[in-house]
Amino acid sequence: MKLFNIILLLLACLVAQGKDYSITLTVNGFGGQKTYLTKVEGDLSILTDTLVADRYGVFRTTFSDENETGFYKFIFPQLNNAEVPFIFNNEDVALTTEAINPSAYIQVVSSKENDLYYQFQAKTAIFNHHVGLLEMVYENYSGDEYLNQTENEYIRLLQEFSKDLGSMRERGKNTFAWRVIKSSVPPLPPMLLSQSEKNNFLKAHYFDNVDFTDTLLINSEVFNTAAIQYLSVYTSKIQQSNKNAIFMSAVDTILEKASVNEQTYEFIVNYLLGGFESMGANEIVSYISQKYLVGNTCDNEQGNTLRRKALSNTELAVGKQAPLDLLTAMNYKKDIDFANENVVIIFWATWCSHCVETIPQIVELYSKIQKPKYKLVTIALDTTTNEWEKFIDANAAFAKSKNLIDTDGWDGKVAETYHIYATPTIFMLQKGKIVAKPIEIEEYKEMIKRLKWE
């Protein structure tokens, strides 16, 4: 009896330790090469590991029960960032592909989840191709008999695709793959329609299959793909004069659908803001921020970030006056007149990888201008001065710029006043007025030229 209890105790310990799962990808003819392993959150790919293949082109790693269920990607920088996505849901995963085009030749060797998902991808691609041909015929040919044949073929394809989905649903019970599939099924008109009729159908039914209450789908591209494809439905009507109003209407529909769940809602708001920011669509960014964020975010880390983003897009939008009192107080030498000079302010941190790549380029550019028509101010949000001082001392170009630090970091008054939600954040001021908020280094360089500050 005592021995039996010991055995039970050992088994309990083994269960408590969790299980390991093998993740392998074989890329034929790719021995010794490198790949980035990333976790998917919408349109983001978050780096989790860097792997090197053996001489046979096999990449190997191990997941455990602690790895979140959802999509992951192998990304190959040497192949123009080609991607091989896969689902992890507590099972071994084995895939193969070809180096010539990794995204196009994926084969599932082992994994129920991925086998189901890639079957859906293949079936959907074939269905969409055939329907596209039928729609072309329907739009461009006449004759009742010919059109009747085309319509009948569409109905046959629709029935066949629906049957395939039913089979996948049966095989996919309790899988993450089926949750992804059922929210990814495109809205299917019951009959062939003209392009304008189809667009109207899609506007009314695009989100019929999307389960916005399923927060686990944040670990996939389902929500952001649905949003961007819905916006694309509106592009046929867009004219330069009213494109913002049309996109705002589409945004209203997307966020109304997403409002059934707070976490999903904030995720999609953040995605839309990022997309329109990258397009430079400031009017739409301000619209989303004012209508959907200010005073409407949750009291959590993501909610607080979105709140700051909303206030940055509204209170500190281009054209607004920047708050200068704190900057003047930090400028104890009084060598910059923020209210009357051209000033570039950059919020950054040494722990921010994008910052340590970008900031040296900006200060280097500044140091090379003989008589710059602006002052450059860098404000670090590090919580200690050690790494900041080392970084500054190691980069001689910083000698020409004014370099400040607020060791209260994200919680400091300066970060709060300027609604800093990400680093680096750049403000370009002209006599205290915000004239630009470039996001990337190339955009920053272009603005320096456009403002004639060189």
User: Has residue 395 been placed in a domain?
Assistant: yes
pLDDT greater than 60 at residue 298: no
Residue 308: pLDDT band (50, 70, 90) is confident
Residues in the chain: 454
pLDDT greater than 80 at residue 341: yes
The H or E element that residue 314 is part of is helix 301-314
Q: Tell me the pLDDT tens digit for each residue of 271-284.
A: 998 888 878 788 88
pLDDT at 19: 87
Q: Residues 355, 446: contact at Cβ < 8 Å?
A: no
Residues near 275 by beta carbon (within 8 Å), at least 6 away in sequence: 228
Residues facing residue 28 across a β-bridge: 98
**Section 354-362 average pLDDT:** 92
CB atoms within 10 A of CB 295: 8
Are residues 341 and 438 located together in one domain of the fold? Answer: yes
Residues facing residue 34 across a β-bridge: 52
pTM, rounded to two decimals: 0.76
User: Has residue 99 been placed in a domain?
Assistant: yes
Q: What percent of the chain has pLDDT over 70?
A: 93
**Section 331-338 average pLDDT:** 88
Q: Residues 429, 435: contact at Cβ < 8 Å?
A: yes
pLDDT greater than 90 at residue 190: yes
CATH number of the domain where residue 433 is located:
3.40.30.10
pLDDT greater than 70 at residue 156: yes
pLDDT at 112: 97
pLDDT at 237: 64
Q: Two tokens at 109? A: 């060797």
Sign of the torsion angle spanned by Cα atoms 391, 397, 401, 402? positive
pLDDT greater than 90 at residue 306: no
pLDDT at 18: 66
User: Has residue 310 been placed in a domain?
Assistant: yes
pLDDT greater than 60 at residue 415: yes
pLDDT greater than 60 at residue 12: no
User: Has residue 406 been placed in a domain?
Assistant: yes
Total domains, the chain: 4
Are residues 295 and 338 located together in one domain of the fold? Answer: no
Are residues 103 and 153 located together in one domain of the fold? Answer: no
**Section 323-351 average pLDDT:** 92
CB atoms within 10 A of CB 64: 11
pLDDT at 15: 45
Final residue belonging to a domain, choices 146, 177, 192: 192
Are residues 135 and 210 located together in one domain of the fold? Answer: no
Are residues 378 and 273 located together in one domain of the fold? Answer: no
User: Has residue 30 been placed in a domain?
Assistant: yes
Final residue belonging to a domain, choices 314, 338, 371: 314
Q: What percent of the chain has pLDDT over 90?
A: 70
User: Has residue 430 been placed in a domain?
Assistant: yes
Are residues 201 and 286 located together in one domain of the fold? Answer: yes
CATH number of the domain where residue 22 is located:
2.60.40.180
Report the b/e string of 12-28 with b at 16+ CB within 10 A: eeeeeeeeebebbbbbe
Are residues 395 and 424 located together in one domain of the fold? Answer: yes
Are residues 231 and 147 located together in one domain of the fold? Answer: no
Residue 183: pLDDT band (50, 70, 90) is very high
Residue 3: pLDDT band (50, 70, 90) is low
pLDDT greater than 90 at residue 291: no
pLDDT greater than 70 at residue 169: yes
User: Which strands make up the sheet holding 34-41, listed edge to edge?
Assistant: 44-52, 34-41, 70-76, 82-88
Are residues 241 and 204 located together in one domain of the fold? Answer: yes
Q: Residues 121, 86: contact at Cβ < 8 Å?
A: no
User: Has residue 9 been placed in a domain?
Assistant: no
Query: By CB neighbour count within 10 A (0-12 exposed, 13-18 middle, 19+ buried), where does 265 fall?
Result: buried
Final residue belonging to a domain, choices 257, 287, 314: 314
Mean pLDDT over the full length of the chain: 89
Residue 9: pLDDT band (50, 70, 90) is low
Are residues 280 and 297 located together in one domain of the fold? Answer: yes
Are residues 164 and 200 located together in one domain of the fold? Answer: no
pLDDT greater than 90 at residue 244: no
Residue identified by tokens 């034929």 is 28
pLDDT at 63: 97
Residue 14: pLDDT band (50, 70, 90) is very low
Are residues 151 and 200 located together in one domain of the fold? Answer: no
Q: Which domain holds residue 279?
A: 194-314
User: Has residue 319 been placed in a domain?
Assistant: no
